[in-house]
Amino acid sequence: MSNLPPRWTTAELTEAAAISSNQFRAERLASSDAWGQQYTQARAKFEKLFEVLGNLAPGGVNDTQLAAAYTKGLGEAFRYLAGPPISDDDLQVLADVESITPSVLSKNNDSLRKVFQVISTVIDPHRFPWIANDAAPTEQQREAALLASSVLLAAQRIATERRNDGKTTQESKVKDYLTSLGFTGVPPVTITTIVKGPGPMQFCAECQLGERKADVVVRLHDTRLLAIECKVSNSATNSVKRLNNDAAVKAEYWLKQFGTAQVVPAAALAGVYKVLNLQQAQTRGLALFWSHDLDALGAFIQSTR
C-alpha cells in the first residue's frame, strides 16, 4: 500500500497552531510602509476627485466633470463617496447601466447621470454634511472629509492586499520548496484522469483537478497526485471558512472523484487556526502541513519513492 501522509495528534496540532499564530502576530506587528503608501495614494485620489467635482458644492455636477472623473481613473474614489462605499458590481446594478468601465462610461452622459444619481442618493452625510445644507464646504469640513475618505479607502486596500499577498506568498513558499527538492514547475492543465497532469518530478499551480481547482498539484514518486491547497487564516473564526468549508470540502470531492489510491488532498497552512477545526479537517481526509515546517511535507514526498 502507498505511504499515507502524516496524521497529527492533538498535542502536535496544538503545538504547530501555536507556532503558526506567533509567526502571524510577529509578521503583522512588523514595521511596514504599506499603510503610509496606501493612505498617500488614497489621499491623492480624493484630492483630485474633489478638484474635478468642485468640492461637491451647490450648483450640481455637470456631465463634463463626471466624465473627467472616470477619464482620470477616479471611479474607485467616486464609489467611496457613498456611505457605506458601493462596489463596482452593485453600482452597475443600482444604476442600471450596461457598463461602468471608464472608457465606456465616460462617453455616455446618460449612464454617467444614472451613476451619479445613485451616489447622490446614498452619499455619506457624516463625511459630507455641507451637501444636506446646500452650501459649499468650509475648509475644516473639506479637510475632515478628505481625511475620513482616504482612511476608509486605504483600510479597504490594505485588507485586500493582505488577503491576496497572504495566499500568493503561501503558494510561492510551497512552489519554492518543491523546486528545492528538485521538482520542476510546468504549465497548468485540466486533470480529468490520474494519468494527466504533471509528470514525474513535476508540479503545476492553479490546476483544474476534476471540477475543483487546486493551488498546487504534485506528481508523487509512486505516481499519485498530491493536491495542495495553500491557506492563510487571520483568526480562529476565519479558519472554519479557509479550512473546513473550502479545503476539506475539496478533499472529500477529490477522494470521491479519484479514489484514495490515486490522490492525496493536503493543505499548506499559515496563520491562526483553531485546533478543533484542524482535527475535523484531518478526519475528513485532508493532510495538514505548515509553512513553518515544510520539511514535513518533504519527508512525506520522499517516503513515496
- Tell me the per-residue pLDDT of 234-279, one tens digit each, with 9 for 90 and over: 888 888 888 988 999 999 999 999 998 999 999 999 999 999 999 9
Average pLDDT (102-110) is 85
Q: Which residue has the higher pLDDT, 105 or 177?
A: 177
CATH 3.40.1350 segments of the chain: 10-30+181-303
Q: What was the pLDDT predicted at 2?
A: 63
C-alpha cell of residue 288: 495538514
Handedness of CA 223, 227, 230, 231 (dihedral sign): negative
Q: In terms of residues, how long is the chain?
A: 305
What is the assigned CATH class of domain 10-30+181-303?
alpha beta
How many C-beta atoms surround the C-beta of residue 225 within 10 A? 24
pLDDT over 70 for what percent of the chain? 98
Specify the 3-state DSSP secondary structure of 34: helix
Query: Nearest 5°: phi and psi at 151?
Result: -65, -40
Band (pLDDT 50/70/90 cuts) for residue 189 is very high
Alpha-carbon distance of 99 to 105, in angstroms, equals: 7
Q: What was the pLDDT predicted at 240?
A: 87
With a CB cutoff of 8 Å and minimum separation 6, the contacts of 42 are 77, 149, 150, 151, 153, 154, 157
Q: What was the pLDDT predicted at 1?
A: 46
DSSP annotation string for 258-272:
H-TTTEEEEEEEEE-
**The pTM of the whole model exceeds 0.75:** no
**Are residues 156 and 85 in contact, defined by beta-carbon separation less than 8 angstroms?**
yes
Q: What was the pLDDT predicted at 29?
A: 81
Each residue of 16-59: pLDDT tens digit? 999 999 998 888 887 678 888 999 999 999 999 999 998 988 77
pLDDT of 298 above 80: yes
Helical packing angle, 139-180 and 295-303, nearest 10°: 30
Each residue of 160-179: pLDDT tens digit? 877 766 677 889 999 999 99
Alpha-carbon distance of 79 to 256, in angstroms, equals: 45
User: Which CA distances in Å does 61 have to 35, 66, 133, 232, 257?
Assistant: 32, 7, 16, 44, 58
User: Which CA distances in Å does 46 have to 53, 57, 61?
Assistant: 10, 15, 16
Mean pLDDT of the chain: 91
Nearest C-alpha neighbor of 297 from the set 170, 153, 136, 207: 170
Helical packing angle, 109-122 and 88-95, nearest 10°: 110
Average pLDDT (269-292) is 95
**Are residues 243 and 273 in contact, defined by beta-carbon separation less than 8 angstroms?**
yes
pLDDT over 90 for what percent of the chain? 67
233: β partners: 271
Beta strands 212-219; 202-209: pairing state: antiparallel
The separation between CA 175 and the C-alpha centre of its own chain, rounded to angstroms, equals: 19
C-alpha cell of residue 210: 476534476
Comparing 80-84, 241-245, 278-282, 294-298, the range with the smallest average pLDDT is 241-245
